[in-house]
Amino acid sequence: MAEVVLAYCSSHAPMMSAARDSAPEEQRNNFFNALGWIQQEAQARDVQAVVVLANEHFTNFFLENFPQICIGLGERNWGPTEAWLPIDKAWIPGHPGLANHVARETLASGFDPAFSHLLELDHGVMTVYHELDQTMQLPLVPIVQNCAVQPLMPVRRSYEFGQALGAAIRSYEGLQRVALVGAGGLSHWIGTPRVGDIAEDFDRWFLDKLESGDLSDVLDLPDDELELAGNGAHEIRSWLAVAGAVAPTPAKTLAYEPVYPWITGMAVSHFATPSAPG
Amino acid sequence: MGAPRVEPTYGLQTAPRREVPCRDLVTGVDDDVSLYQLQRCVWDSIRAGQVSGSTKRAFDVDSYDLTEDEKQAVEQADIGRLYQIGLHPVLLNGFCRASGFSRNEYRDILEAFAEPEERKARWQK
């Protein structure tokens, strides 16, 4: 059976790749050093595949049909879609075995994820995936979530989906060592008069909740309250799914930097999961 | 006569144009445009500039049922007007980038529409 041998969450922002040096040196060093540590852990734990949850930015879906969750089942997916993102455009290998198993098991658990045999991956997945594996050869199962178009899946439901996702990964017999990543958030505003603002108080509160392991206040958040940390804050759904997948393991914040040039509260949190299957 | 046939989009490059007006059943007014058309127009315009496989997508602003106001806002990249009309903020953000606006530039434009926030969230002391 597989085990989640590495679980972490990271903010994503296109500027972390496209305008890396626009961030103050100390901030970017803290952020990327945390991701560097994660990369070393992935190598040390000999990760065989990675599941990345990130939000949909109208890259694959539009208003005709907008799934709350979509699992990438394909043998490969394309990314990054943004021509200006300085990451090589490539076909990223998928893992149909794991992805189909996750889809079947989460369906059996009472969720109704959509699926796609070909996803286009934007900065939401690609910035974080590329920091994990610059060769972009690590098999990737992308799971895109609706964090932008109302009505949204409640945050509690995202956490519960994560619980089902974690169980699904751990019941897969085709691999032994899987990494699980939540990519998105934290606070930020896009396409509004507050673009560029960061709600540091929200970010620190949320990270503290993840470290405490008591997420009850977070899971009760209605969307209109969560939006007070920015319309981009809805992306914490990816973080909560990972937290649910590895519960009750609490997170440890490896880095938090409010990077104003990247218009986002940039954090990396790690969950100390087993280093090998039991 | 039955309802007009609406062709499914199934991966088409642009949204289907309506050949006849749709009547709003509440107001009784013939509504031959919709915010959806504007959202779709802007989405397609952004994607026309993006890499997808080895191709770029085609885009023609005249293939959408837009009002003159909407069409002008798209063609002139009138960010403030698009915000007022109700363009989705994710699309607005992408459209600004595709149109060459920096974040500071488009924030300066949108600040005129900012409304004070009176509510307090649970994380705010």
Q: Please say if the pLDDT value at position B125 is more than 90.
A: no
Instruction: Indicate the residue of B53, B90, B106 with minimum beta-carbon distance to A148.
Output: B90
What pLDDT, on the 0 to 100 scale, is given for residue B54?
A: 45
- Give the distance from residue B1's alpha carbon to the nearest chain A alpha carbon, in angstroms: 26
Stated pTM of the model: 0.90
What is the DSSP-derived secondary structure letter of residue B19? Answer: S
User: A63 and B89: CB-CB below 8 Å?
Assistant: no
* pLDDT at res. B34: 78
Which of B102, B95, B117, B65 lies closest to A57, judged by CA? B95
Tell which residue, A268, A266, A244, A265, has the closest CA to residue A254.
A268
| Residue from A248, A12, A269 nearest A128 by CA | A12
Interchain proximity B89–A191, CB inside 8 Å: yes
pLDDT at B17 over 80: no
Least confident of A182-186, B21-25, B69-73: B21-25
Residues A47-88 pLDDT 10s: 999 999 999 999 999 999 999 999 999 999 999 998 889 999
pLDDT at residue B33, as a whole number: 55
Tens of pLDDT, residues B75-119: 999 999 999 999 999 999 999 998 999 889 999 999 999 988 899
Whether residue B40 lies within 8 A of chain A, CB to CB, comes out as yes
Taking CB atoms and an 8 Å cutoff, what residues of chain B touch A263? 103
**Subunit contact B91:A149, Cβ cutoff 8 A:** no
**Interface probe with B: pick from A149, A189, A190, most Cβ of B within 10 Å:** A190
How many contacts does A have with B, using Cβ atoms within 8 A?
82
Chain A contact set for B121 (CB, 8 A):
202, 225, 228-229
| Token code pair at residue B14 | 């642009």
The dihedral built from the CA positions of residue B89, B94, B97 and B99, taken in this order, carries a sign that is negative
Whether the pLDDT of residue B27 is over 70: the answer is no
Q: What is the 3-state secondary structure (H, E, C) of chain A?
A: CCEEEEEEEECCCCHHHHCHHHCCHHHHHHHHHHHHHHHHHHHHCCCCEEEEEEECCCCCCECCECCCEEEECCCEEEECCCCCCCCCCEEEECCHHHHHHHHHHHHHCCCCCEEECCCECCHHHHHHHHHHCCCCCCCEEEEEECCCCCCCCCHHHHHHHHHHHHHHHHCCCCCCEEEEEEECCCCCCCCCCCCCCCCHHHHHHHHHHHHHCCCHHHHCCCHHHHHHHCHHHHHHHHHHHHHHHHCCCCEEEEEEEEEHHHCEEEEEEEECCCCCCC
pLDDT for residue B5: 40
Q: Which residues, given as ranges, of chain A have pLDDT below 70?
A: none
Asked if A116 and A71 touch (Cβ cutoff 8 Å), the reply is: yes
Predicted local distance difference test score (pLDDT) of residue A87: 96
Q: What confidence tier does B51 reach under pLDDT thresholds 50, 70, 90?
A: low
Percent of chain A with pLDDT over 90: 96
Q: Is the pLDDT of residue B53 over 70?
A: no
Give residue B12's pLDDT.
35
